[in-house]
Amino acid sequence: MALAEAGARGRLLRWPRVLLFGDSITEYSFQENGWGAYLAERLVRKCDVVNRGISGYNTRWAKLILPRLITENTNADNVVAVTIFFGANDSALKELNPQQHVPLEEYAANLKSMVQYLKSVDITADRIILITPPPLQESAWEKACLAKGDKLNRCNATAGQYAQACVQVARECGTDVLDLWTLMQKDQDFSSYLSDGLHLSTKGNSFLAAQLWSRLGNKLSALPSLLPYWRDVDHTNPEASLL
């Protein structure tokens, strides 16, 4: 059978999608032992996990990009979950990092705008998870800054204010939220969750992956596997099984 004929006979295969939208902590999530890779491994043949992490970005820039990633005309109905994970850059100190800094009230407004946009293209609140910035281990991040010739440009208390704002937006918008800043600090020494004081270590990736899976696992693992198990394919008439 010609490929064109097979395509005409078969229904278009549409993989559901999980969209991970965030800054560098999302961009790096497909590295070895990353939290995005964890999700992708567990959802293989059920849905695509799409990494749209953009290192260095804040919510001011993110809200401009989101409508270019998802529209009603690009199968928004096929998106089964979206994570919005910003704040580590927004919370940079204005006087030391004005390029990335976003004022607290604007940060909250930007998050709310993104959630409202997703709802406007029929991605319901139960498919949206906001993730707060993680805590900042200041001494380790200061070393990373000094190595680049910079001063310490973030502090944990400020990151906590942005985390609280993120939680409040989720409450107001009716979405789920993963308060990483609070959860990680339940351990007295949270530095083991971070590789350089800001980005996640292997332990931090595992922690985030487990927290996300506890929220997504029941819903997404119940999705059917796409295409039949190979032993169930009729080898004498594969078209009957696969088209």
Active site residues: 24, 196, 199
Contact 86, 27 (CB under 8 A): no
Query: Which positions ≥6 away from 129 have C-beta within 8 Å?
Result: 81, 82, 83, 84, 175, 176, 177, 178, 212, 215, 216
**Would you call 176 helix, strand, or coil by DSSP?**
strand
Calpha distance 29→237 (Å, rounded): 41
Phi and psi, residue 168, nearest 5°: -65, -40
Query: Which positions ≥6 away from 185 have C-beta within 8 Å?
Result: 135
Q: Which residues pair with 79 in a beta bridge?
A: 17
Calpha distance 79→122 (Å, rounded): 10
Which residue has 């965030």 as its token pair?
22
Distance from chain centroid for Cα 202:
17
- A 10 A CB-CB count for 128 gives 23
